[in-house]
Each structure stands twice: as structure tokens, then as C-alpha cells.
Amino acid sequence: MSDPSTEPVLRAVGLCKKYGTGDGLVRAVDGVDLDVATGETVAVMGPSGCGKSTLLHLLGGLDRPSAGEAWLAGRRIDRLGERALARMRRTGVGFVFQAFHLMKELTVVENVELPALLDGRSPRTARTRAAELLDRVGLADRARFLPSALSGGQRQRVAVARALSNEPLVVLADEPTGNLDSAATADVLRLFEDLHESGQTLVIVTHDERIAATADRLISMRDGAFVDETRLTGGTTGNLGALAGLDG
Ligand SMILES: Nc1ncnc2c1ncn2[C@@H]1O[C@H](COP(=O)(O)OP(=O)(O)OP(=O)(O)O)[C@@H](O)[C@H]1O
Ligand SMILES: [Mg+2]
């Protein structure tokens, strides 16, 4: 842990999230250990209800674990107070959701600059950065449009630009192509590939094999736990199922 260059940017240790009690108890996340290195892209796949979104929320400080630890850049985040946690989310994490979650009354450029403004940047700095990001996602000519005037794929590219506003340590994407047709998926796929190549650390929950194939590592999740892990670039193939003593 003493060498910052090898310290994982994102770390989970024995992470658990339970909902309900007694017969209604759900172990949404059930003992997840995860290290994500700087610049790494990790894809998480698994059946509906296996805990993927809950895990992303715990990793990004949108939710607190029932047990275990979540770390971002060497800082334990699950025990931060509300204000410190909100600040950490604003500056350290960029979220991309399946349903885009853009502010519909704000123009495209206003949506993208909002996180920087909320973090106290000057309007001018925030606007300049937003314009650069819109250029990067290929939507400079849509800056003054309302989100309702954009296609689904364009909306998601705006959401990605917004997620990058504060140069986050990590981008967490929850089924970013889940609402998109195949052509729009291809656009968003290219954008994530571009982010990956530029060294952005990414964790992507996806049902889409094409998105998963762009990752360095593919993790399979089932019933709140990691059951298999495949390294897609370099390294060796691990099998968490074997480590956990599961069959197959
Ligand atoms: N707020 C909540 N209260 C109670 N149970 C919840 C809550 N949020 C999630 N769960 C339960 O936790 C489990 C994991 O849910 P989660 O949304 O993380 O799954 P998921 O893998 O993202 O599924 P999907 O692929 O459908 O998005 C599910 O059984 C779900 O019903
Ligand atoms: Mg989900």
C-alpha cells in the first residue's frame, strides 16, 4: 500500500449489502473483494438481480455497505460523513446510468458543466471544459439543444461527457447501452474504447458482449458474489469459482 503507483484506485474488501430481515432478507452483495488498477477497464456481467447495480452504488459511495470496506484512491469511503462522501462522489467518481438521467430543462452544455459548477469551478472554466468534452464525444454542434432533441445514443454520449466533467478517478457505468439500439450502442462502445485508451479507469456493468469484450477483465457475478474472472488483455485467466471451492 505504500507505493501509490501500485495502489488500486478502487478497492472492495468483503463488501456486503443486505436488504430486509428474516424471511425477507436479501444479500444483494455478498462478500465482494475487488481491486481495480489505474487505467484498467473492468466489465461486470451477471443475471438480473445478482447485485451489479448495488455493487456499483457501493463502490461509488451512492450507498453504504452493511459490512466490508470500499476504498477510493487509498481512502476509505464507506465511513465518510455525508458531506465528505458527497464531495468525494462529485470529484472522484463519474456515473453513467442506463436511463441517462440528464436534466431535461437544461441544455446539453448546461448538463455537462453542472458537476464542475457544483464543485465550485468558475462558470467560465466549467463552460470551457464542457465544450471540450462535447467535442470529444462528437456533439459540439448540439451544445445548445435540449436533451429531448437528441437521440438515445447522443443522450448517453452527453451523460458520458458529464461524467468526465470533474476528471474523475473512476467512471462507473451501469448498463450504459441498455436503452440503445445497435447503431447507438456502437457509438457508445467507441466512446468507451476511446476512454480506455486514454487511461481512464472504468467499471462497466453490461449485458452486452461487445462492451464486455473491450475490458481488460471480465467478472461474472451471481447471487451477490463474484463467481468467475477472465483477464482479456495480458496476464492469465483466473477462476474465482475454483478459488471459492465451487463446482465447475
Ligand atoms: N432498495 C432495495 N430494497 C430491497 N431490495 C433491494 C433494493 N435494491 C436492490 N434490492 C435487491 O437486491 C438484489 C440486487 O439488485 P440489483 O439492482 O443490484 O441487481 P442487478 O444485478 O443490478 O439487476 P439488473 O440486471 O436487473 O439491473 C435484487 O434481489 C433486488 O431485488
Ligand atoms: Mg442493475
Of 61, 137, 152, nearest to 102 by C-alpha is 152
Task: Starting at the earlier edge strand, list the strands of the sheet with 41-45.
Answer: 93-96, 170-174, 201-205, 41-45, 217-222, 225-231
The best mutation among 21, 30, 52 to test binding of ligand 1, ranked by most ligand atoms within 8 Å of the C-beta, falls on: 52
Of 90, 87, 133, 93, nearest to 110 by C-alpha is 133
Does 157 score more than 50 pLDDT? yes
Does 244 score more than 70 pLDDT? no
Give the right CATH number for 36-57+81-243 from 3.40.50.300, 2.130.10.10, 3.40.50.11270, 3.40.190.10. Answer: 3.40.50.300
Query: For atom 6 of ligand 1, which residue has the closest CA?
Result: 19
CB of 19 within 6 A of ligand 1: the answer is: yes
Q: What pLDDT score does 111 carry?
A: 98
Of the ligands numbered here, which is closest to the C-alpha atom of 57? 1
Does 247 score more than 80 pLDDT? no
Q: Which band of pLDDT confidence, cut at 50, 70 and 90, is reported for residue 236?
A: very low
Angle, alpha carbons 16-22-24 (nearest 5°): 75
Does 88 score more than 60 pLDDT? yes
Query: pTM surpassing 0.75?
Result: yes
Tens-place pLDDT, residues 119-149: 999 999 999 999 999 999 999 999 999 999 9
Tens-place pLDDT, residues 183-231: 999 999 999 999 999 999 999 999 999 999 999 999 999 999 999 999 9
Q: How far is CA 36 from CA 40, 208, 239, in A?
A: 6, 21, 17
> What is the average pLDDT value for the chain, to the nearest integer?
92
Q: What pLDDT score does 1 carry?
A: 47
Does 5 score more than 90 pLDDT? no
Does 41 score more than 60 pLDDT? yes
Q: Which band of pLDDT confidence, cut at 50, 70 and 90, is reported for residue 233?
A: confident
Q: Please identify which residue in the block is written with the cell numbers 444483494.
A: 28
Q: Where are the domains of the chain?
A: 36-57+81-243
Give me the residues near ligand 2 (ion), CB cutoff below 5 Å. 53
Tens-place pLDDT, residues 164-173: 999 999 999 9
172 CA to middle of ligand 2, Å?
Answer: 12
Please, which residues bridge with residue 12 across strands?
34, 70
49 CA to middle of ligand 2, Å?
Answer: 7
Query: For atom 7 of ligand 1, which residue has the closest CA?
Result: 19
CA 116 to CA 108: how far, in whole Å? Answer: 14
Does 237 score more than 50 pLDDT? no
The best mutation among 54, 207, 226, 227 to test binding of ligand 1, ranked by most ligand atoms within 8 Å of the C-beta, falls on: 54
CB of 80 within 6 A of ligand 1: the answer is: no
Q: What pLDDT score does 243 carry?
A: 41
Query: For atom 10 of ligand 1, which residue has the closest CA?
Result: 28
Does 248 score more than 80 pLDDT? no
119 CA to middle of ligand 1, Å?
Answer: 30
CA 139 to CA 193: how far, in whole Å? Answer: 17
Q: Which band of pLDDT confidence, cut at 50, 70 and 90, is reported for residue 73?
A: very high
